[in-house]
Amino acid sequence: MTQAIDIRVAGLHLTARLLTDAAPRACATVLNMLPLHAHLLQARWSGEAAWIPLGDLDLDLPYENATSHPGPGHLLLHLGGLSETEILLPYGPTLFASKVGQLAGSHFATVEDGLGSLAEIGRRVVWEGAQDVTIEPR
């Protein structure tokens, strides 16, 4: 299995290590979605985080390595249900939530290269709006 993914946002590049031991099914599911070309938006309720909406996509997965308090660069896969399916990319302090309250997501990858770009990604989604994002296997 691929052990890392490349994330490109508005000319910035991140590399994230997949957590295949802690979240094997979530990692496999994300890899099957790649390459993913989407929009990265400022999170509405989660604090300093951006998200990739995946709509009503039914992933039929259990939670793995679940958290509501991801650190910067800790990518979460939210499985839908209470809120729409999404990938969350925290760039600062985050409490994962939606209009129905606190959520949990499967922590499936951690940014290892490009951590210094997270603040700029945050600045762009806040001040410039939605940003094009591409996620590909490394």
| Number of domains making up the chain | 1
Which residues contact residue 118 at a Cβ distance below 8 angstroms, ignoring those fewer than 6 apart?
14, 72, 73, 91, 92, 111
Write down the pLDDT at residue 82.
85
Rounded to the nearest angstrom, the gap between the alpha carbon of residue 70 and the centroid of all alpha carbons in its chain is: 10
Write down the pLDDT at residue 24.
98
* Residue 3 and residue 104 in contact, taking contact as beta carbons nearer than 8 Å: no
Give average pLDDT by consecutive 10-residue segment, the chain, 138 residues: 91 97 98 98 97 94 97 96 94 96 97 97 97 97
Write down the pLDDT at residue 1.
62
Domain housing 65: 4-137
DSSP 8-class letter at 117:
G
- The two most distant CA atoms of the chain are separated, in Å, by 37
Show the beta-strand stretches assigned E in 43-104. Answer: 47-53, 66-67, 74-78, 86-94, 97-98, 101-102
Q: Is the dihedral of CA 97, 103, 105, 111 positive or negative?
A: positive
Question: Terminal CA-to-CA distance of the chain, rounded, Å?
Answer: 11
Q: What is the CATH number of the domain that holds 60?
A: 2.40.100.20
